[in-house]
Amino acid sequence: MSGAEPVGAHGAGPGPGALLELEVGPVAHGGHCVARHEGRVVFVRHALPGERVRARVTEAGAEASFWRADAVEVLEASPDRVEPACPVAGPGLCGGCDWQHASPQAQRRLKTAVLHEQMQRLAGLDVDAPVEEVAVPASAGTSPQDAARGLGWRTRVAYAVDGAGRLGFRAHREHRVVPVERCPIATPGVVDLGLPQRRWAGWQSVEAVVPGAADDALVVASRRPDRTTGRGAPRLPAVPAGASVATTTSRGPRQPPGPVTRVRGRTWVREEVRGRSFRVTGAGFWQVHPGAAEVLTDAVLEALAPQPGEAALDLYSGAGLLTAALADAVGESGRVTAVEGDARAVADARRNLHGTPGAEVVHGPVQRVLEGRAAATEEGPAQPVDVVVLDPPRTGARAGVVAAVAALRPRAVAYVACDPAALARDVATFAGHGYELRTLRAFDLFPSTHHLEAVALLEPRA
């Protein structure tokens, strides 16, 4: 706290670095709590409801509708507060773990409160959906003690690289990289690779993927577009002999990376779910909690109850996890159409679903594919759709996709969401098209962070 000016120094209002003494109020979406200073809302990280803290202002302005701050000293602690397991899980440091200072039970209560608040405020619904604990499978190698603390669950870890070639994670709302030696929420398989102990000069990011057995580990190093060939190409440090190694090229924010190039071993990993094997190339999308794929598949099937002979749509289908489950449920007399915009995921899905009766994979943006399907029905009879799975990115499905899905008039829609605000907005949009929320389940698949996963069932209004 040395060097920080008190609020009101030199007659000015608080700016970045100023200290505020705050009474912390309720939790808010995004990994912080709400406090007030002279009537203005302050979003405070590293605090808990009911605490009194001294917080350093990180973002402020005379015209700003709210400020941001970081709790640097706890004056009165919550009984839910625990000592973080990670030395960089604190003010001004790693932006990844929002709630490592709260007990796992308290974390789930906080997430439940956020889900309830978002659904009430954005969808006008009162929901009773306590966030459920998800066990870390024994195959992950995590000790029972760490699992009980919400540690050792992440099978995929994406590191940023700082100017000295050290691996780390971005600070909250900053591009600054905070170096790490070990990430406590990573599985032992990821930790044992020892990637932060090596220097990655010239690389932009490094992802470790260890789905289960250590011999199925994959390391994907991403370089900047200007560091690709010849004398500008960076060198790879030594990686444990049992791991596969591949490289790719970053294409900028919100852009898919370039092709994955094999250096050693394979460019993909194998995931096992419900007796079926799935191939996932490079650092392609797959749930990062080792229990997530099975838990979410079970929740979707329970919600939809797909029947033999039915027709299903799996939108934002990725590598085909839920497509396969739907295909098994509807049987050879049914059909499942998977729609995915990422070419690499489509290639994986076609391999994973090869030989699966009634399964088709369509490559293209979901909204465009649905609109094309609607246009085709104007020239001939529409193929009925009985059930739909929506598993969109964090931004949600949005109004265009929701309208297109509702226009198909399926008997049931299972919406898999990783952001409660996006889910609530889309549920409200569905309501405008005659669909209402029937059930909602939520799962703590990202312990120590503010993230959760939810499965909502929407059905036509009676």
List, as residue ranges, the binding site. 287, 316, 340, 391
Kind of pairing, strands 453-460 and 435-444?
antiparallel
- How far is the C-alpha of 33 from the C-alpha of 48, rounded, in Å? 7
Token pair of 110, please? 């906080």
Q: Which residue, 460, 458, 462, 448, is CA-closest to 151?
A: 448
> How do 435-444 and 387-390 pair as beta strands?
unpaired
Alpha-carbon gap, residue 173 to 46, rounded angstroms: 14
Half-sphere exposure of 182 (CA within 13 A, CB side): 12
**Spatial separation of the C-alpha atoms in residues 308 and 93, rounded to whole Å:** 52
CB count, 10 Å around CB of 47? 29
**H and E: helices and strands count for the chain:** 9, 23
Catalytic annotation present for 86:
no
Q: Identify the H or E element spanning 460.
A: strand 453-460
User: How far apart are alpha carbons 121 and 127 in whole angstroms?
Assistant: 11
Three-state DSSP state, 290: coil
Cβ atoms 442, 112 nearer than 8 A? yes
- Do residues 409 and 113 make contact, with C-beta atoms less than 8 angstroms apart? no
CA atoms within 13 A on the CB side of 83: 2
Tokens representing 192 are 């044992």
Distance CA 337, CA 126 (A): 33
Instruction: Determine how β-strand 335-340 pairs with β-strand 311-315.
Output: parallel
Catalytic residue among 33, 86, 183, 418: 418
Feature table: binding site for S-adenosyl-L-methionine: 287, 316, 340, 391
Q: How far apart are CA 327 and CA 325, in angstroms?
A: 5
Residues marked active site are found at 418
